[in-house]
Amino acid sequence: MTAEDALPPPRVFPGGTIPGLLLLGDLAWIEKTFGPPLVRLHRDGTARVAAAVIPGGTPTPWLAREFPRLRLAAHLDALDEPPDTLALIATPLRQRPAKISQALRRGWHVLSACPPADNAAETTRLCELARRNEVSLSVDLPHRLAPWFRWLRLAASGRALGGCVTFRLHEGGDEISPSEVPPAGAWIDPGLRAFDLIANWFGDMQPLSAADDALGGVEAVARAEFAMAAGFRGSLRLDRDRSAPPSYLLRCRRGTVCWDTASATPARLRLDASVDELTGILRGREPDANRGPAGTRELQLRQLLGAAIRGNEPANHATTLLPALTMADHCRRVRSSLPLPWLSANESAVAASLSLHGRAA
Amino acid sequence: MKVAIFNAAGAIGARMVETFHLSGSPQPVALAPAPAGLARAARFAVSLKLVDPASTESLRSALSGCSSMVFAPADEDEPARIVESAATLARACAKGAIRRLVMISEAGPADRKAAEPEDGAESLPGLLPGPRSAALAEAEAVLLEVRVEHLPLTIVLRTGTVFGARVPSFAELARGLESGEGPRPLADAPWNGLHLDNLVAATRAALSARIIEQRVFTLTDPAAITEEAFRAAVARELGVSAGVATNLPREPTEGTAHQIQGFNVEKQLGYRPAVDLAEGLRRSCAWWRHARD
């Protein structure tokens, strides 16, 4: 069975109409990340890419080619899409909450780039607004549908290799949101994905320490250590300075699992005891390399459209991101300064002063 | 004085933004072709600007308010992109407010002993062969021609192999030494290296030096050692074995390339190295340990 065979069939609203999609924000990012899934959904009649907000008024070559009947507007207010339209919003983070609010008030479902807002309080407010308007606010979290995510969650659950003893997560090689200037700090991008992974795999956590290298701006490198409610500890390194590809290491009582996206064989499993039963659970569930980011985003869109038609909460509802956002808030609040040992003595003194008094984020 | 630094995404550009900002002068403006390239500079409250290296208008707009500029191609820049950026930069600087343009040409002089003890640029050692060096040489020519018609005075700093914090080739060397892998250098090949902080010091000098004619300077660190000795020194600083026991020279050897080339740079630009080789290695390896752990 291929990934495509497993996809749910197209659904329609009562009366036979299919959901409409509206695109707003960084269209280059939307094309890069959602391009093939949007085209496929549009062509197979699952959804109709109906409108886009383009301040300049000229569609990108991709939009003009793939969706020639697209309605264009310079502002969101100028569009008159029907309720239950799905708005895909990828504006810069500073403008995102306002645009999401606007869309939710129009009765549109929203799929937002991650995160909908840069803190948990604002995201909670948006979730409440969505609830009052009886629409859904979901977040682009394709990693949750990636095969490796479920595979590692299975390992982390303790059924295969015994309980987790410790973990080490490195993130930083790829960004999860549209790029912008100034960039969001590392605690947000890619930090939120890492916090979401930890929350999904290991449950509740408490940060023991958090440090970053912001000196009046936003952090490029951040580190944190956690104590998990399950009784073990783990560490996280977010690094946009060296931009190393993501890698995850889970040490369990009876073995170790490594997931290194830069490696030709990203998954490595080492068993400390050669018991066949141990491998049985994981064997046959190894990640499906054929489903890349485009595949997971298509699955995400299909699930979201299905939920909208059935009136269900989507799996990626923004409330499910709140634990990760709360953790990012907490780390930013308690953070200390990372040492920068390559600086001269004078630079170190100035850096110490900036770190204490000059943090902008 | 505001100085635009392009490309702030690279190790050289990032360290320049860091040093200038932390010392309070000159005021850096970080330029990069993609938002991700500004992540390093965004740690500070400095001006960040996205530029399209193919668009004169984009660069001209980004340079507004700046009186000087440093053009430091990043390691990851494609050779064709380097030449294109230089050409666009030359057009953007034309009749603008940029009075001085410093280009960092990190191509690694192939033979520093070929330099003569003179002030002129005619007797410079050649660049190492390869498409990147060719592109850097072409970019140098493009920017040096700017002076003919327009105001900016171009100074080219043709450097040895730069090492230091965030430099990919240094990270590769350190990783190779720690894992016991990596290529073995030729035992007697000279190490034409330059610590990043010395390059920043030379750039600072080039931005403010009283000089009226455009020049090309070559720049390497004072210590005259071989590649193998350098590798051994890095290994020692990292606490691993390189299989070679070599001590760093305490002083530049008489008659070495440094004295030939450094004379030129020190006299005309007022450049003084910020760190000696031992301190440069200490800072570089400290960065590596910080980045690795």
Interface residue of B31, B43, B204 to substitute, partner A, most A CBs within 10 Å = B43
Written as one letter, the residue type at B55 is S
More reliable by pLDDT, B263 or B137: B137
pLDDT of B254 over the 60 cut: no
CA–CA separation, A132 vs A134, rounded Å? 5
Considering only residues B221 and B32, tell me which one the structure prediction assigns the higher pLDDT: B32
pLDDT at residue B85 above 50? yes
Q: How confident is the model over B127-182, as pLDDT tens digits?
A: 556 788 889 989 998 888 876 566 678 899 999 889 999 999 999 999 999 988 76
DSSP B209-275: ----S-EEEEE--S---BHHHHHHHHHHHHT---S---PPPSSPPTT-HHHHHHHHHHHHH----SS
SS3 A247: strand
| CATH for the stretch A144-290+322-345 | 3.30.360.10
pLDDT of residue A242: 78
The strand order across the sheet containing A164-171 reads A267-271, A255-260, A247-252, A164-171, A233-239, A221-228, A205-212, A336-337
CA distances from A13 to A37, A306, A310, A312 (A): 20, 10, 8, 13
Measure Cα distances from A46 to A3, A41, A51, A146, A304 in Å. Answer: 17, 5, 16, 22, 11
Q: Are B43 and A213 in contact (CB under 8 A)?
A: yes
Backbone angles phi, psi at A147, to 5 degrees: -55, -40
Distance of CA A204 to CAs A209, A231, A233, A344, B53, Å?
Answer: 16, 10, 11, 40, 46
Collapsing DSSP to helix, strand or coil, A15 comes out as coil
Judge if the upstream peptide bond of residue A115 is cis by omega within 30 degrees of 0. Answer: yes
pLDDT band at A282 (very low <50, low <70, confident <90, very high): low
B61-88 average pLDDT score: 91
**Degrees to nearest 5, angle at CA B253 with B252 and B254:** 115
Q: Domain limits of chain B? A: 2-164+195-220+251-274
Q: What are phi and psi of A24, to 5 degrees?
A: -145, 130
Beta bridge partners of A138: A111, A317
Determine, for residues B42 and A180 on separate chains, whether the beta-carbon distance falls below 8 Å: no
Q: Is A266 helix (H, G, I), strand (E, B) or coil?
A: coil
CA neighbor of B160 nearest in space, from B77, B67, B222, B205: B222
**Whole-angstrom distance, CA of residue B242 vs CA of residue B235:** 6
CA nearest to B283 within chain A: A342
Q: Who's near A191: CB < 8 A, 6+ residues apart? A: A171, A185, A222, A236, A238, A328, A331
Give the closest residue to B164 by CA, choosing from A182, A165, A341. A341
Residue B147 neighbours by CB distance under 10 Å = 15
Is A216 within 8 Å of B164 when comparing Cβ atoms?
no
3 state SS of A342: coil
Residues of B in contact with A354 (CB under 8 A): 22, 44
For domain A20-142+297-316, give the CATH number.
3.40.50.720
**Residue among B162, B191, B168 nearest B253 (CA):** B191
- CB-CB contact of A85 with A19 (8 Å): yes
End-to-end Cα, chain A, rounded Å: 48
Among chain B residues, CA nearest to A347: B22
Residues of A in contact with B36 (CB under 8 A): 175, 179, 183, 240, 243
Chain A residue set in contact with B, beta carbons under 8 Å: 175, 179-183, 213-220, 239-243, 338-344, 346-347, 350-351, 354, 358, 360
Which of A124-128, A201-205, A314-318, B54-58 ranks highest by mean pLDDT?
Answer: A124-128
Domains of chain A, by residue range, sit at: 20-142+297-316, 144-290+322-345
Q: Cβ contacts (< 8 Å) between A175 and chain B: which residues?
A: 36
| Dihedral sign of CA atoms B257, B263, B269, B272 in order | positive
Q: Which residue of B has its CA nearest to A181?
A: B35
Structure tokens at B92: 């953007």
Residue A330's SS3 state is helix
Asked if pLDDT for residue B3 goes beyond 90, the answer is yes
- Does residue B49 have a pLDDT over 90? yes
Specify the pLDDT at position A158: 78
More confident site: A58 or B52: B52
Strand partners, B105: B158
| Residue (of B223, B234, B31, B16) closest to B112 by Cα position | B223
| Dist. CA A179–CA A90, nearest whole Å | 10
Burial class (CB in 10 A: 0-12, 13-18, 19+), B118: exposed
Q: In a mutagenesis test of the B interface, which of A342, A344, A356, A359 is the best target, namely the one with the most B β-carbons within 10 Å?
A: A342
Model confidence at B113, pLDDT cuts 50, 70, 90, reads: very low
- Mean pLDDT across the stretch A297-308? 89
Q: How confident is the model over A157-198, as pLDDT tens digits?
A: 877 788 899 999 999 866 778 878 888 899 999 999 999 999
Q: Which residues of A326-336 are buried (b: 16+ CB within 10 A; e: fewer)?
A: bbbebbbeebe
- Taking CA atoms, B55 is separated from B62, B90, B99, in Å, by 11, 11, 20
Tell me the residue type at A271: L
Smallest CA–CA separation between A222 and chain B, in Å? 11
Of residues A216, A220, A343, nearest to B39 (C-beta)? A220
The answer, yes or no, to whether residue B40 has pLDDT greater than 60, is yes
pLDDT value of residue A10: 59
A347 and B19: CB-CB below 8 Å?
Answer: yes
| Average pLDDT value for residue range A123-130 | 97
Copy the structure tokens of residue A33: 């990340």
Peptide bond before residue B7 is cis, with ω within 30 degrees of 0: yes
Can you tell me the distance from the alpha carbon of A33 to that of A47, in angstroms, rounded to the nearest whole number?
17
Topology at the third CATH level for domain B2-164+195-220+251-274:
Rossmann fold (3.40.50)
What end-to-end distance do the CA atoms of chain B give, in Å? Answer: 38
In this structure, what token pair is assigned to residue B177? 């030494």
pLDDT of residue B244 exceeding 90: no
Higher pLDDT, A212 or A261: A212
Residue A4 predicted with pLDDT over 80 = no
CB atoms within 10 A of CB A247: 19
Which residues, other chains included, contact B291 with Cβ-Cβ below 8 Å and sequence gap of 6+?
A239, A241, A242, B166, B171
**How far is the alpha carbon of A293 from chain B, nearest alpha carbon, in Å?**
20
Give B-chain residues touching A347 at CB under 8 angstroms. 18-19, 22-23
Q: How far off is chain B from A217, nearest CA to CA, in Å?
A: 4
Per-residue pLDDT at B59 exceeds 50:
yes
CB A2 within 8 A of CB A299: no
The pLDDT of residue B149: 62
Q: How far apart are CA B189 and CA A305, in angstroms?
A: 64
Model confidence band, residue A1 (pLDDT cutoffs 50, 70, 90): very low
Strands B2-6 and B68-71: parallel
Angle at CA A359, nearest 5°, toward A358 and B2?
A: 60
Provide the 8-state DSSP code for A68.
Answer: T
Average pLDDT over residues A46-57: 90
CA-to-CA dists, residue B104 to A136, A263, B12, B220, angstroms: 52, 34, 9, 13
Spell out which residues of chain B touch residue A342, defining contact as CB-CB under 8 Å: 164-165, 283-284, 286-287, 290
DSSP string, B130-186: SHHHHHHHHHHHHHHTHHHHSSPEEEEEEESEEESTT-HHHHHHHHHHHHT-SPPPP
Amino acid at the residue B200: V
Average pLDDT score, chain B? 82
Give the separation between CA A259 and CA A83, rounded to whole angstroms.
42
Count the helix, strand and coil residues of chain A and give each as a percent rounded to the nearest 5.
35, 20, 40
